[in-house]
Amino acid sequence: MNDVGSYPTTEEGLQALLKPPARKKDRWNGPYIKKPEALKDQWKNQLQYCYPGRHNPDSYDLWSKGPGGRSGDGDDIGNWETTEKTEAFQE
């Protein structure tokens, strides 16, 4: 974020870690990730990104669609707290 002054927009997405977004080329000092495969989860699906986040409105959401391969089907893995996650860790 310090290089360009903001997180990538949802439209720019995680590709902004590999290639400079058009409006930020003069401030971009990447690539920040060397291999595009780093933007995939263990099921070989693209990681999902949203800024501003729905779960983290002051920051961004980053998530895997999980083994089901669909967002919102209950097996997503994200950078936010959920009641289900908290309860699972308490068992």
74-86 as b/e: b if 16+ CB within 10 A? eebebeeeeeeee
pLDDT tens, position by position, 44-68: 999 999 999 999 999 999 999 999 9
Res 91 pLDDT > 50:
no
Judged by phi (left if over 0) then psi (alpha if -120 to 50, else beta), residue 3 lies in: alpha
The number of folded domains in the chain is 2
pTM above 0.85, yes or no: no
Residues 9 and 45 in one domain: no
pLDDT of residue 83: 66
Residues 79 and 61 in one domain: yes
pLDDT tens, position by position, 13-27: 999 999 999 888 899
Residues 44 and 21 in one domain: no
Whole-Å CA distances, 59 to 6, 14, 50, 91: 10, 14, 9, 30
Domain that holds residue 33: 1-37
- Please give the structure tokens belonging to residue 20: 């400079």
